[in-house]
Amino acid sequence: MRDLGVGLGRQETPHQDQMLLLLQLSVAPQFLPHSLRVADLAANEVVEIFPLTFGEKPELRSVYLHNNRLSNTGLPPNTFHGSEAITTLSLSSNQLSYLPPSLPASLERLHLQNNLISKVPRGALSLQTQLRELYLQHNQLTDGGLDATTFSKLSSLEYLDLSHNRLATVPEGLPGTLTILHLGRNCIRQVEAVRLHRARDLRYLLLQHNELGASALPAGTLRPLRALHTLHLYGNRLERVPPALPRHLKALVMPHNRVAVLGARDLVSARTLAELNLAYNRLSSAHVHPGAFRRLRVLRSLDLAGNQLSRLPEGLPASLRFLKLQRNQLRALEPELLTGLNKLQELSLAHNRLRVGDIGPGTWHELQALQVLDLSHNELSFVPPDLPETLQELHLQANRISHVGPEAFLSTPHLRALFLR
């Protein structure tokens, strides 16, 4: 027997589109079938739900109420009474001001993003021990709207999105099962180690676009996060790489900060890094230690674009596949600084101050796997000689090249894309 569902928010045919525009629901049906399994009333104008709209539905699994006009007064406390099998509930893009009470204990996914929620009442999430995904982004949550017990009972929670709120600190009581934590676009100024000590299985910590400054991540703050894979710190006010990074960290993403110094030991604890993004900081060649990258023996991607580097960094790891150095102040390419980079596939040197005479003889010799080379927006007067045989894509636009000789591309038989505008 086929499941019975209600799909008043779905649009399947042009005729149905017109009918829905004329028959936008402002009040949910008072009675729906006892056998209901899926109810979709999304994208209406619903302001009120009745006790038996979704209540007393033992087979009900999914309820979609997003994109309506529901406030808390439109959701009675017994909205889901007797419906103890609901696993997915979407209340996003409504007008809720606090997290509704008496939500089904069976929930696995709860969508509350894009509301006006400023508070999660104490105990509102105390019974949802099967909840795996909780979406609270784009609300008005402050530290006062949460307490130490808000998330502590969610013993199955893996994904928590609190981005685009007004939090000043990392919430307390994070469950140990959490693997992904979104805290971007808040007002967080400091991360306290005690707030993270239970989240030992955390793999992705996203703190981009907060107010993290020089002392925001004291030594040891991230040490308990032994499983951390990715740390996003984009768009803060950090002046150094956070100390004592977790040993198994694979990706450190912190462009658009204020990092001006990279010391010999700043990355020493993160030897398993595969991706390092320090683009658009304040790094100059004089303040990047020659040994800063030497121990990153599995690093595949290094992004140093938009800094103040005047020469290539020393000690680049042989494991590199992708190297971005565009929008710096490079005036010369020294062959010895590219020695050993025989796995490098893409090199971006665009928007620098390079001239052909500043590219030393044999510069490209070591780059035996290079496929993409971007030398656009420099000061080159002709095509650099002896380009790598493996090259497939070459960017030379916005230079000073006025003539291309017949021998210019003899060394690049595999070239597929050439940009000379």
The model's pTM: 0.91
Least confident segment among 220-224, 282-286, 397-401, 416-420: 220-224
Give me the pLDDT at residue 223, please.
Answer: 86
Task: Annotate 33-99 with three-state secondary structure.
Answer: CCCCCEEECCCCCCCECCHHHHCCCCCCCEEECCCCCCCHHHCCCCCCCCCCCCCEEECCCCCCCEC
Does residue 123 register a pLDDT over 70?
yes
- Residue 117 is which amino acid? I
- The confidence score (pLDDT) of residue 224 equals 86
* pLDDT computed for residue 121 by the predictor: 95
Question: Is pLDDT above 50 for 8?
Answer: no
Q: Which pLDDT tens digit goes with each residue over 350-397?
A: 999 999 999 988 899 889 999 999 999 999 999 999 999 999 999 999
Q: What is the DSSP string of 244-281?
A: S--TT--EEE--SS----B-TTTTTT-TT-SEEE--SS
Res 17 pLDDT > 50 = no
Q: Which distant-in-sequence residues (6+ apart) come within 8 Å of 194 by Cβ? A: none
Q: Please report which confidence band the pLDDT of residue 9 belongs to, taking 50, 70 and 90 as the band edges.
A: very low
Chain-centroid distance of CA 296 in Å reads: 23
Question: What is the model's pLDDT at position 24?
Answer: 80
- pLDDT at position 220 is 86
In this structure, the number of other CB atoms found within 10 A of the CB of residue 220 comes to 10
pLDDT over 90 percentage in the chain? 90
pLDDT digits (tens, 9 = 90+) for 152-174: 999 999 999 999 999 999 999 99
Does the CA dihedral 329-335-338-343 come out positive or negative? positive
Residue 52 has pLDDT above 60, yes or no: yes
Q: CB under 8 Å to 37, separation ≥6 — which residues? A: 3, 4, 5, 59, 60, 61, 62
pLDDT of the residue at 18:
34
Of all residues in the chain, what percent carry a pLDDT higher than 70? 95
Residue 307 pLDDT > 80: yes
Sign of the torsion angle spanned by Cα atoms 160, 165, 168, 173:
negative
Confidence bin at 320 (pLDDT 50/70/90) = very high
Nearest to 115 by CA among 56, 68, 168: 68
Tens digits of residue pLDDT in 216-229: 999 889 988 999 99
pLDDT of residue 319: 98
393 Rama sector, left if φ>0, alpha if ψ -120 to 50, beta otherwise: beta
- What pLDDT does 242 receive? 95
Q: Are 212 and 233 in contact (CB under 8 A)?
A: yes
If one counts every other C-beta atom within 10 angstroms of the C-beta of residue 135, the result is 21
**Does residue 2 surpass a pLDDT of 70?**
no
- Asked if 126 and 152 touch (Cβ cutoff 8 Å), the reply is no
Average pLDDT, the chain: 93
Over range 290-312, report the average pLDDT: 97
- What distance in Å separates the CA atoms of residue 175 and residue 52, rounded to the nearest whole number? 34
Query: Would the pLDDT of 20 be above 60?
Result: no
Q: How far apart are CA 280 and CA 308, in angstroms?
A: 9
Look up tokens 């999304």; give the residue.
42
Confidence class for position 346, pLDDT limits 50, 70, 90? very high
